[in-house]
Amino acid sequence: MRYDVVIIGGGLSALVCGIRLQRSGKSVLLVSSGQNAMHFSSGSFGFLGRLPDGSVPDGLIDAVQALPESHPYRKVGTDRLREYAGQTIGFFESAGILLHGDPLHNSLRLTASGATKPAWLAMEDVTLFLSGEVSSSGKVLVVTLKGFTDFNAPFVASAFSRMGYTCRLEEVEMEEIASLRKNPTEMRSVNIARALEGQHVLDRFISCVRGKLKDEDTVVLPQVFGLKDTSPLAAIRSRIPAHVHFIGTMIPSVPGIRTQMSLKSAFLSAGGTFLPGDTAVRAGFDGSGSVAAVFTSNLGKTPLEAGEFILASGGLWGKGLDAKYDAVIEPLFSLDVDYPGERKQWYDPDFFARQSFTGFGVVTDDAFRAVKGGKTVPNLRVIGAECGGANPLEEGSGAGIAIMSAFMAADSILGSI
Ligand SMILES: Cc1cc2nc3c(=O)[nH]c(=O)nc-3n(C[C@H](O)[C@H](O)[C@H](O)COP(=O)(O)OP(=O)(O)OC[C@H]3O[C@@H](n4cnc5c(N)ncnc54)[C@H](O)[C@@H]3O)c2cc1C
């Protein structure tokens, strides 16, 4: 099977890159072994939540200058970052995903445990606090579902109290949800979202919340609505007579899964080929050191051939890297990996300290081309969390790096940069 581009991975970076290439006339095959980080996302994208000195930047593009030269953002460059950041909302909208936020500045979001964190752009059902203003009356009602422990409503309520609002807490009890509580592992955001998909169940939920409202002009709900599409969000917003804000839950992530499914649909609608549930296990190189083909566990000896290859396999978390006892390897192409050689430097025993292993990644040149044995592989680019030079968890930069590197890899294959 021959394509213009073969992408290994099915997460944010792979899909964004695949859509851009396929829409520009390339034939693209994406091979993905399983779940990706979007399934566990907060529902908001981080671009750069924290600088190396610990401070939170306001203007995002200028702040990139404080990052090391090997950082993926420094490879994209500030002019192109500004252009790409400006394109991001429109790109996602064209895939049916409404993002909001300021593309060039950080906002704040509330976590399921009531902490505030910097955020760049957010999905429709994630509230960003741009100005700090939430409720004009100063009265907020936080509503959760009885028995749902993946949304810490008292902590969320106390976060609003700390912001100066008068906050009341209510629980909704519904028969359709109660059945999930028979097994505590079933009482998860995704299962609740499925239970609330039925129109009559959603109607009952909305009328329960209306019944709990007193003089509040703001209602805060957990993000458990709209696994397939955002119509439940619109119904809730239009029928509850207050401003409605949705706050993230513990994983799995309803908005993250919906966004991943929308990106996958956009890729397929553009004519792309998606091989789900298959793993690229082996690669073949030609005499010049370029990748000739990859082989997957399901297709066996049938090669996936292409002129260009992209590795978007998610780093240690996505299994794009493998930690042996004394070495960290990239298992598919045997690429060079950026990590400290000595195992004791891989992690800090203080769980809350900066961890070095969350920044391991493949070494690339300035155009995101992979490096193998010290030499650039001309037709293999590495994007997203697989790419070295950053520590996305520490920096709060995961989605930003995934999207920016995906845009740049696509544009360089298209010859537009
Ligand atoms: C649990 C978690 C939560 C996160 N939440 C956020 C968040 O809320 N906001 C944010 O900005 N960032 C978040 N991040 C950071 C995240 O890294 C990026 O946002 C981004 O989603 C990474 O996308 P990716 O495509 O590079 O990798 P991934 O999403 O990890 O995707 C890699 C994909 O490659 C596949 N794969 C790997 N090897 C192979 C192979 N050999 N063959 C075929 N397929 C293969 C994997 O199965 C997976 O589907 C989170 C990260 C994690 C781990």
Domain residues for 163? 127-247
Atom of ligand 1 nearest to the CA of 281: 41
Give the number of domains in the chain: 2
Q: Of 122-136, 294-308, 334-348, 354-368, which gets the smallest average pLDDT?
A: 122-136
pLDDT of residue 69 exceeding 90, the answer is yes
Measured CA to CA, the distance from residue 122 to residue 346 in angstroms comes to: 32
Q: Are the C-beta atoms of 396 and 118 separated by less than 8 Å? A: yes
| Residue written as token pair 């966004």 | 259
Please indicate, yes or no, if residue 54 is contained in any of the structural domains: yes
Please indicate, yes or no, if residue 89 is contained in any of the structural domains: yes
pLDDT of residue 132 exceeding 70, the answer is no
Please indicate, yes or no, if residue 94 is contained in any of the structural domains: yes
Phi, psi at residue 57, to the nearest 5°?
-75, 150
Claim to verify: residue 403 and residue 312 sit in the same structural domain: yes
- pLDDT digit string (tens) for 214-235? 999 999 999 999 999 999 999 9
Measured CA to CA, the distance from residue 274 to residue 267 in angstroms comes to: 8
pLDDT score for 286:
97
Measured CA to CA, the distance from residue 91 to residue 79 in angstroms comes to: 18
Claim to verify: residue 143 and residue 239 sit in the same structural domain: yes
**Binding site membership of 122 for ligand 1 (Cβ less than 6 Å):** no
Which sign does the torsion angle of CA 350, 352, 354, 360 carry?
A: positive
**Binding site membership of 60 for ligand 1 (Cβ less than 6 Å):** no
CA of 82 to the centre of ligand 1 (A): 23
Q: b vs e for 380-415, b when ≥16 Cβ sit within 10 Å of the residue's Cβ? A: bbbbbbbbbbbbbbbbbbbbbbbbbbbbbbbbebee
Which sign does the torsion angle of CA 269, 270, 271, 275 carry?
A: negative
CA of 177 to the centre of ligand 1 (A): 30
Domain end (from 229, 247, 265): 247
**Percentage of the chain surpassing pLDDT 70?**
98
Atom of ligand 1 nearest to the CA of 318: 30
- Classified as helix, coil or strand, 200 is helix
Q: b vs e for 96-128, b when ≥16 Cβ sit within 10 Å of the residue's Cβ? A: bbebebebbbbbbbbbbebeebbbbbbbbbbbb
CA nearest to 326, candidates 343, 340, 339: 343
The whole-number average pLDDT for the span 308-320 is 97
Phi, psi at residue 108, to the nearest 5°?
-125, 145
pLDDT score for 130:
64
Residue nearest to atom 18 of ligand 1 (CA): 398
Claim to verify: residue 155 and residue 238 sit in the same structural domain: yes
CA of 22 to the centre of ligand 1 (A): 21
pLDDT score for 134:
66
CA of 39 to the centre of ligand 1 (A): 9
Claim to verify: residue 261 and residue 407 sit in the same structural domain: yes
Claim to verify: residue 202 and residue 337 sit in the same structural domain: no
The CATH number assigned to the domain holding 322 equals 3.50.50.60
Question: Which tokens is 322 given?
Answer: 């493998």
Claim to verify: residue 74 and residue 93 sit in the same structural domain: yes
Domain end (from 194, 223, 247): 247
Atom of ligand 1 nearest to the CA of 120: 11
Claim to verify: residue 19 and residue 75 sit in the same structural domain: yes
Mutate to test the pocket of ligand 1, among 41, 123, 383 (most ligand atoms within 8 A of CB): 41
pTM of the entire structure?
0.96
**Binding site membership of 28 for ligand 1 (Cβ less than 6 Å):** no
Domain end (from 207, 224, 247): 247
Claim to verify: residue 95 and residue 220 sit in the same structural domain: no
Tell me the pLDDT band of 131, cut-offs 50, 70 and 90: low
Tell me the pLDDT band of 386, cut-offs 50, 70 and 90: very high
CA nearest to 401, candidates 377, 378, 352, 368: 368
Claim to verify: residue 327 and residue 236 sit in the same structural domain: no
Please indicate, yes or no, if residue 117 is contained in any of the structural domains: no
Average model confidence (pLDDT) across the chain: 94
The CATH number assigned to the domain holding 209 equals 3.40.50
